[in-house]
Amino acid sequence: VSSLAFNLDQLALMHKCLQRSEELVSRAFAIPALPSLQYPYEVATASDLAAHERATKALAHLVIYQRSRPRGLENLYRICLQDEVILNRLQTGSQVDGLSALLVYILTHELVHVVRFQRAEQSFSAKRGVRQQEEDLVHQLTLNLLRQAGASHWEYLDQCYGNPVIPAQRVQR
Ligand SMILES: [Zn+2]
């Protein structure tokens, strides 16, 4: 069990950052407002994560579940935020003066993955080398998006590049 989790204020901030990221991503990809049926995802934080959804080094990762719906199987993208890693990163990175800049980066990054996977612009079962290229590309797309939106601290966030690649896992639900 994680020892460090977002408190209620931090959770409320996370929801605000999620709305901001949803706006940025839907505008950038010219798709209907997120969340939408076309892009099924959910966001989980430490208290909701199952053991296999925890990661000790990444800020966040995606776990993809397949679920059946009346119109057939669909992917559900679960964005698993790692509260402890995020909070620790903040303590050591004094240049970001708030949790919000980091959360907007992380959530925008993960939503860009969701849109690209769902549109099959990239496959989550791709080989390792391709996955690394995808990480580089998603990181650059995310930074461009933040820069264009006039977000603060995006230069610092460039250092989040070290976010380890965890291949998306696919699980039957
Ligand atoms: Zn990524």
Is the CB of residue 82 less than 8 Å from the CB of residue 58?
Answer: yes
* Distance in Å, CA 43 to ligand 1 centroid: 15
Kind and range of the H or E run holding 77: strand 72-81
- pTM for the full predicted model: 0.88
* Distance in Å, CA 109 to ligand 1 centroid: 6
* Distance in Å, CA 1 to ligand 1 centroid: 24
pLDDT of 97: 58
* Distance in Å, CA 125 to ligand 1 centroid: 14
pLDDT of 70: 86
Tens digit of each residue's pLDDT (9 = 90 or more) over 57-114: 889 989 999 888 888 888 899 999 999 999 988 866 555 557 888 899 999 999 999 9
pLDDT of 132: 81
Q: 24-38, 46-60, 98-112, 116-130 — which is least confidently predicted?
A: 116-130
* Distance in Å, CA 161 to ligand 1 centroid: 9
Confidence of residue 172 (pLDDT cuts 50, 70, 90): low
Burial class (CB in 10 A: 0-12, 13-18, 19+), 63: buried
* Distance in Å, CA 68 to ligand 1 centroid: 26
In angstroms, the CA 2 to CA 155 distance is 30
* Distance in Å, CA 121 to ligand 1 centroid: 14
